[in-house]
Amino acid sequence: MTLISIFVTSPDTHSERRFDTSLTIGQLKDKLVPITGISPQYQVLSLYPNSDSVLAGSSKAIAQLSEESRTLVEYGVKEWQCIQVDNIDPNYRPGEFTDESNLERFELTNEEYESRNDTVLSHLKANKLGRFAPTPTNLTYPPPPPTTYDPSIIPGARCEVSHGSAGSGRRGTVRYVGEASIGKGGVWVGVELDEPQGKGDGEVEGKRYFQCSPLHATFVRPDKVTIDDFPEEDLMASDDDEDEI
């Protein structure tokens, strides 16, 4: 079995189809009925080199496919050629199935549509769906990112950064204050920590905001920063030092 793609055109249709080349013309006509809507006895088949020539009316037919016992291969039908199906039904009216100009249309005004109880709109109303669903009243939205901050938070200022639910602080020096492409935007404070308790060296997502040693940088919101004259932390200091003179 050899399948080829050919175009089929008729007064009301035009499409690409695949047929077995071993089909006889009689068998082909039966297959063309649901495609063209033309009964086999009223079909007249003409073979053209391509569909463009048929649509433009610029080419003569290669052959008339009139012998119903002959096959497509015997007629030399090739890939991408075009079969034109003419309708010789004496009762045929051109455009009978494609002309919509004389069709009666069922139309409703907006008021008539809204008053019916068998529509999608009535279903949505009855079941409180879509735009008719009740609006939740207990929704909570996260606060917008801060755009203002304590003016004492400036680069070079000593600070303490609150950390965790207990609010324990990490001391350091402010190195950057301003907008940053971190999280959801807004104002961020970049702090160089005294000890390696951070997450980087002042670079975030390929952009450098300041330079410090690895694991000494952290970025927090301004409300997490307390400015004061904090001495530098010395984690190596012993607790017993307080008892020495």
When pLDDT is averaged across residues 83-100 and rounded to a whole number, the result is 81
Is there a contact between 86 and 42 (Cβ–Cβ < 8 Å)? no
Q: Are strands 14-20 and 187-193 parallel, antiparallel or unpaired?
A: unpaired
Residue 238 confidence (pLDDT) above 50: no
What six digits make up the tokens of 102?
Answer: 């004389």
DSSP state of 241: G
Point out the least confidently predicted range of 14-18, 82-86, 98-102, 129-133. Answer: 98-102
Query: Whole-angstrom Cα distance, residue 25 to residue 15?
Result: 18
When pLDDT is averaged across residues 78-102 and rounded to a whole number, the result is 82
Residue 169 confidence (pLDDT) above 70: yes
DSSP state of 15: E
Q: Which residue has the higher pLDDT, 217 or 186?
A: 217
| The CATH classification of domain 158-227, taken from the options 1.10.2020.10, 2.30.30.190, 3.90.226.10, 3.30.360.10 | 2.30.30.190
Per cent of the chain over pLDDT 70 is: 89
pLDDT for position 237:
52
Q: Are strands 63-64 and 82-87 parallel, antiparallel or unpaired?
A: unpaired
- Per residue in 48-79, pLDDT (tens digit) is 999 887 877 777 899 999 999 999 999 999 99
Query: Whole-angstrom Cα distance, residue 222 to residue 202?
Result: 17
Residue 166 confidence (pLDDT) above 70: no
- CA 6 to chain centroid, in Å, comes to 35
Query: Whole-angstrom Cα distance, residue 47 to residue 80?
Result: 11
Closest Cα partner for 183 from 224, 141, 144? 144
Is there a contact between 85 and 36 (Cβ–Cβ < 8 Å)? yes
When pLDDT is averaged across residues 129-137 and rounded to a whole number, the result is 85
The CATH number of the structural domain formed by 3-87 is 3.10.20.90
pLDDT for position 98:
64
Residue 232 confidence (pLDDT) above 70: yes
Residue 160 confidence (pLDDT) above 70: yes
What six digits make up the tokens of 159?
Answer: 């600070």
User: Quick one: CA dihedral 6, 47, 67, 86, positive or negative?
Assistant: positive
pLDDT for position 236:
57
In whole numbers, what is the pLDDT of the chain averaged over residues?
86
What's the pTM? 0.42
- List 203's β-bridge partners, or say none: 208
Domain boundaries, the chain: 3-87, 158-227
CA dihedral in degrees (111, 114, 115, 119; nearest 10)?
140
Is there a contact between 127 and 119 (Cβ–Cβ < 8 Å)? no
